Structure 1
């Protein structure tokens, strides 16, 4: 006989899943209708999750997940050894591009480099495993931001730091850039974080289709030109798909 599930815990998890998968915040009535629960139950569950800082309320009385949910997700990524799973596709992309390849996840409003494969060339993009950079001005960060924008946008107001003359520093311009990234499925950084560095990146998705990481190529502007970025863009997107498949399989492909 299957083990009896705790009803309140199960319903609370359903609320979290509904909000984390929704492209927009949801109100009590929307959640009740989606989950076939009565509104008083949903209100109690939401109130508890908000008190535990897993949810936050918008001015229009809708709710969204907080970054505390992301922290849990990043912990899971660490335990599943994502860098090892992504390794074969990253090395293949490094050989094809001749440039440095990064694997990144979200860390607050920054991108965290969890793995990299260095270019064999003496002049290359510099980075460190465990290093960070602002989400809004590097290619892997833009990918992570674009596909999790509803959650992260409110935290960027006043935090779009200028790194170079090309850095996006207004939410209006960032909104437009995020639409472009979602439409293309890849993101670029043309000297927006460092004057002499460019990059292109693609998403890595979990079995539910959520973007949990990004893989990207970066290199010196003199070598990784706009034309070169257009040439290798499809290979970067393919690396993202391969890593996503490996994540779903739980092992390198």
Structure 2
């Protein structure tokens, strides 16, 4: 009989070597050359050179004029994102659960990830039929409620790039740039965004901005559900609760940042 005991975890050796290089470069007070890296890690020079080129192409490594290498600030940026998102999830938890109880639908906590809305936390509805959005998943900024919030308050920087990439995900997706401009202006004026089946035809949402201690919109909180339940009238009824949740998280975040 074959044992059910799990075997050792299989490690991707190429990925492992690349991470080892990053760890060495990040820990070093000065830049390091290919030969030194190969000797320190007991790796073949050609392999180190190939991995360095890949890391450099992905902006994790920077080459100095003397052809040595150092870790870029991308690692620092990623580390800060992990800390910030983890902190935000913790700080938003109480308000998210309160909103979930009031709405009876999925509640989403979302941040900007390039041209995508990234769902960093989620509370699932107890309804047998609900919108399917996974934690860690993404959606285009311009056609989901939380994404629209993030786009509206970063519109000057993102408008032209988004305009080049707009696709119709449903018959209701806003693809006309003039109409999108007007939609973004409405969101900035009202601090509320709606999705009326613009990403998935049968799913809607309502969302509001979360601000940090200096007023920057850093995230969005929203309610998502089937349009059969989350009608325009239901969204109107939920608007005060969504705004209250966003304001509560904003105040908690600002207080945390001022400590």
TM-score using structure 2 length: 0.67
Structure 2 CA distance for aligned equivalents of residues 125 and 151 of structure 1: 30
Deviation (angstroms), 1:73: 7.3
- The answer on 1:189 being equivalent to 2:195 is yes
Who is 2:154 aligned against? 148
Task: Report which structure shows greater RCO (CA 8 Å, sep ≥6).
Answer: 1
Deviation string for 1:22-47 (max 9, x for gaps)? xxxxxxxxxxxxxxxxxxxxxxxxxx
Structure 2 CA distance for aligned equivalents of residues 189 and 94 of structure 1: 18
Who is 1:126 aligned against? 132
After superposition, residues 137-176 of structure 1 pair within 5 angstroms as 137-176=143-182
Who is 2:80 aligned against? 76
C-alpha contact 1:200 1:229 (8 A) present in aligned 2: yes
- The answer on 1:106 being equivalent to 2:138 is no
Ranges in structure 2 where 5+ consecutive residues have no aligned partner? 1-58, 60-72
Structure 2 CA distance for aligned equivalents of residues 171 and 76 of structure 1: 34
Once the two structures are overlaid, the 10-residue window that deviates more, 185-194 or 157-166, is: 157-166
The number of equivalent residue pairs is: 184
Deviation string for 1:106-163 (max 9, x for gaps)? 1111100000000011111101111000000000000001111111112112211110
Deviation string for 1:166-194 (max 9, x for gaps)? 00112211101001111111000000011
After superposition, residues 170-249 of structure 1 pair within 5 angstroms as 170-249=176-255
After superposition, residues 40-79 of structure 1 pair within 5 angstroms as 76-79=80-83
TM-score using structure 1 length: 0.69
Ranges in structure 1 where 5+ consecutive residues have no aligned partner? 1-51, 53-68
Who is 1:33 aligned against? none
Who is 1:14 aligned against? none
Structure 1 CA distance for aligned equivalents of residues 116 and 200 of structure 2: 16
Classify 1:191/1:75 alpha carbon distance in 2 versus 1 (closer, same or farther; 3 Å): farther
For the residue of structure 2 that corresponds to 1:126, the secondary structure is coil
Q: Who wins on radius of gyration, i.e. which is larger? A: 2
Deviation string for 1:76-112 (max 9, x for gaps)? 3530321111000000000000000000001111100
Deviation (angstroms), 1:72: 7.6
For the residue of structure 1 that corresponds to 2:163, the secondary structure is coil
C-alpha contact 2:212 2:254 (8 A) present in aligned 1: yes
Once the two structures are overlaid, the 10-residue window that deviates more, 227-236 or 72-81, is: 72-81
C-alpha contact 2:105 2:223 (8 A) present in aligned 1: yes
Structure 1 CA distance for aligned equivalents of residues 212 and 80 of structure 2: 11
